[in-house]
Amino acid sequence: GAGVSQSPSNKVTEKGKDVELRCDPISGHTALYWYRQRLGQGLEFLIYFQGNSAPDKSGLPSDRFSAERTGESVSTLTIQRTQQEDSAVYLCASSPKQDTDTQYFGPGTRLTVL
């Protein structure tokens, strides 16, 4: 079946511009996560959605970062007034309600801020 998809796969933007990154989780998965991975580093948790509960935003690095999710479907990560240090791969993962331990990751969006 279809896995987690993300778009765009690559995004190049200028410093100060806003960007939107999209994640389509696996159908039926209630949990959705966003991570950031800088070059050569491990994953950095950003935000977590679980069903209709309030999202866990504890990993968002600044108020320039926000994310939304409509029900149990698509999620959008928005970065406002991008900075060069925002350059990274942004990964989305989803997991089924019954098995919250295993996360299924998308291919990521590579963001480059010039």
Cβ closest to other proteins, residue 20 vs residue 44: 44
Nearest Cα to Cα of residue 109 among 35, 30, 15: 35
Say if residues 77 and 90 touch (Cβ distance below 8 Å). yes
CB of 42 to other proteins, least distance (A): 4
Question: Helix, strand or coil for residue 85?
Answer: helix
Q: List beta partners, residue 14.
A: none
Backbone torsion region of residue 81, taken as left when φ is above 0, otherwise alpha when ψ lies between -120 and 50, otherwise beta: left
Q: How many residues bind other proteins (CB under 8 A)?
A: 25
Chain residues 46-65 in contact with other proteins, contact rule CB under 8 A: 48, 50, 53, 56, 59
83 forms part of the interface with other proteins (CB under 8 A): no
Chain residues 1-20 in contact with other proteins, contact rule CB under 8 A: 4
103 forms part of the interface with other proteins (CB under 8 A): yes
Cα 114 from Cα 27, distance rounded (Å): 35
Cβ closest to other proteins, residue 35 vs residue 65: 35
- Site residues for other proteins per CB under 8 A: 4, 33, 35, 41-45, 48, 50, 53, 56, 59, 91-93, 100-108
